[in-house]
Each structure stands twice: as C-alpha cells, then as structure tokens.
Copies of this chain bind each other. A is one copy, B any other.
Amino acid sequence: MIFTYTDKGVCAAKGFRAAGIHCGVRKNKTKKDLCLIVSDVKCSAAALYTSNLVKGAPITVTKQNLSDGKAQAIIVNSGNANTCNSDGIEVARQMCALVEKYTGIPASDVVVASTGVIGQKLSIEPIRNGMQTLVDGLGYNNSDDANEAIMTTDLKKKSVAVTFTLDGKECHIGGIAKGSGMIHPNLATMLVFITTDAAISSEMLEKALREDVKDTFNMTSIDGDTSTNDTLCVLANGLAGNREIIVEGEDFEIFKQALRAITEKMCRMIAADGEGATRMMEVRVSGAADEDSARKIAKSIACSSLVKTAVFGADANWGRVLCALGYSGAQVDVGAVGVDFISEKGEIAVCRDGSGVEFSEEKAKEILLEDSIIINVTLKDGSASAKAFGCDLTYDYVKINGDYRT
C-alpha cells in the first residue's frame, strides 16, 4: 500500500485537539515545555514502555490509568524526567488531576509522561499555573505546538500522518515523536504519541503495537542508552465510524500497514535528528539465518561507535562493519559476507566473501558524504532480513552531552 504523508501529526485524526506552551518547567522561556492532547470522546488505548528497570514515575501512573485499556488525554512536560525522585509518583498524579480539573476528563483516563533531566524534583507549580493557558490553546490543527513542547535536544519536529480506508470509511493515523539522545532498543525512543480515528479494541491496538516495534522503534539507536522514560502510546477514538477491529483479519492488516507507515518514518526522523548527527544511517541485512540474527547484526552495526565515527568521517572503513557483525552474537558464515555502501550518489561494493575488494575511495567518499546513507550487508546463511536505523557519532554529540544539565 502506498500512503500519502502529511504533517498533521496527532491532529490528523478526527476529534483530537492538541496544545503546547511554555509554563516554566524549563528556565528558557523560548522553549515550550508542556503538552496536552485530548480526544473529544473516550479512546481505546495501548502503550509500551522502556525496558529499563529504573522507570520514570509517570510510567507507573500511566500504567495504572491504562489498566482498563481506555484513555482520553495525554499530558507531557519536557525539561524534567520526573525520575528517581522520592515524590515523583505524587507529582505525576497531580498532573493527571490538573487535566481532570481543567477539562473534565477523569484523571484515571489521562496518560502522563515526562522527559528531561533525571533525578531532579519536578515542581507542580509551573504546570498548575500554566493549565488554563494550555487548555485555552487546544486546537484541532495544533499538533506542531504539542510536538514542540515534548522536544528536548531535538532540533526538528517529528510529526507524520497518513490517511487510509477501513470498512469503506476514511481513517487517519498520525503521531509526534521526540528523540534525540538516550535512544536505544528497547524501546528506542523517548516519547511517541499516536492518535487515530479508526475504531479498534485496546487489545488489538496493543497487539499491533507490539508487532510493529520489533522492526521500528526497537531497531533504532542513537547512542546505546535505553532511556528511563520511553513511552509509546496510541489512542484510537473510533470517530471514523468503521466497524471496530476486534480480531485479526484484513482490517487489522490494513491498520498495521498504516501504523508501520508512520512508525518507520518516525524512526528515520529520530535517527536523522539524533543528538549531534550529521547523517542518518540505515543498516540493511539480508540473507541471515533467521530474523533474530538479522536484527542482532543490523543493530550491532548501527550501534558501533567505530562504525558511527567512520560514517561521520565519510570513511569507507568497512572493516569496522565486519567487526561489529562479528561481535553481534549472531552466527554468521563470515567468509560469505558482502558489504556495499549506498546513497543517492550511487552504490559501491567494498567487501565480498568476507574480504576486501578493490574500490574507488573517491567514489566511496562521494557516496558517504550524503545526508542519508545505507550500509547494505548480504549474508549467505538463509533468507531473513532486517533494517536498523541510526546516525553518526560526532563532536556535537559529545558537546551536547558533556554538559547537558547546565
């Protein structure tokens, strides 16, 4: 299926309003720091969270609120992760209570998330003081404000939506995401919020999500650090009027394709906007013994500091690709490995049968200097394939993270 993309984000689907303001969690007044997304009606909801043992307090509260598979609003602050704070859960609950007070949506139907520095107390004051302005700002075409308010070191908004048809009805699905450091499987994102007007049960929504992330957010890495606050949440309000998806079948497959259309795009956006990144790197592995091996190899290459610095230098140092493949933990016939570098400038073979082949360094450089490059790895172990999304490792990554708190 071919999808047409728009940038309407969480407001592409009918009945979703969004807002984003600066309330004062951040000192910098030019940066928005509070986001609200609400649906006109109650939604089926599903979410996945970080696998990190150290979890942000908002995750505990969101899990409780989503235990019935229903939600109607999402509130998010940036600038403070509300993690490793003794009063974190209480503050996260207060955020939900404020949504109830100002919108009438029950606190137990609110998804709450925070992103920013770990281990600093989050004051509820600026959020409380900002609520009226936030609610006043809610609009049906306001996804960008919401997107800006969840950004931390992100340089670009990550907003995407597509239209599709279910049961003869026009449906929409769209989302906003923030990166851009502490990104690693599983779950390879800080925050992603997706809305759809398709009707689907929360069980099927969760099933769709779990299947999707295996090839998308769990295959994206910026720096190998799995965040404490990762939350991927989907709300489905059913306003498109299609017959509700409650079992597998054709409609479920179409829904999953639409979901994949936006999640894969978001992963590429997150990778391209990785902290300090100058170029996006996609690692494609084919001919692997099985899917698990293919994913392990693709991730290992995409996560290698040495591959990432070589990509920064546009250096065709394919030996590092083989090195990362070799320590991936997957069983591989090393003597059969092929490596090509691909970009809009063309493609070049650099390794065949596990050994180097003659190639033009000049041509390789030209290919690798593009904004977006593909490292294509071919194996002869089977027929499984996988893709991983990453970026280069640069001076700016070090700069951004050498003094993040100040």
Q: Is A44 an interface residue (CB 8 A)?
A: no
Contact residues in B for A393 (Cβ distance below 8 Å): 398
Contact residues in B for A331 (Cβ distance below 8 Å): 53
Encoded as 1 (CB less than 8 Å from any B CB) or 0, chain A from 333 to 356 comes to 010000000000000000101111
Contact residues in B for A223 (Cβ distance below 8 Å): 305-306
Specify which of B119, B319, B332 is in contact with A356 (CB 8 Å cutoff): B119
Most-contacted residue by chain B among A315, A324, A327 (CB, 10 A): A327
Interface size on A, residues (CB 8 A): 64
In the complex, the count of this chain's copies comes to 2
Contact residues in B for A394 (Cβ distance below 8 Å): 398, 402
**A319 lies within 8 A of B397 (CB):** no
Contact residues in B for A326 (Cβ distance below 8 Å): 52-55, 226, 228
Main secondary structure of the interface of A (DSSP, over half): loop
Q: Is A389 an interface residue (CB 8 A)?
A: no
Specify which of B55, B309, B324 is in contact with A402 (CB 8 Å cutoff): B309
Q: Given known contacts A119-B356, A228-B322, A351-B84, is B398 in contact with A306 (CB within 8 Å)? A: no
Encoded as 1 (CB less than 8 Å from any B CB) or 0, chain A from 299 to 312 comes to 00001111001101
Q: Please report A residues at the B interface, Cβ cutoff 8 Å.
A: 51-55, 81, 83-86, 117-121, 181-182, 184, 223-228, 303-306, 309-310, 312-313, 315, 317-320, 322-327, 331-332, 334, 351, 353-356, 393-395, 397-406
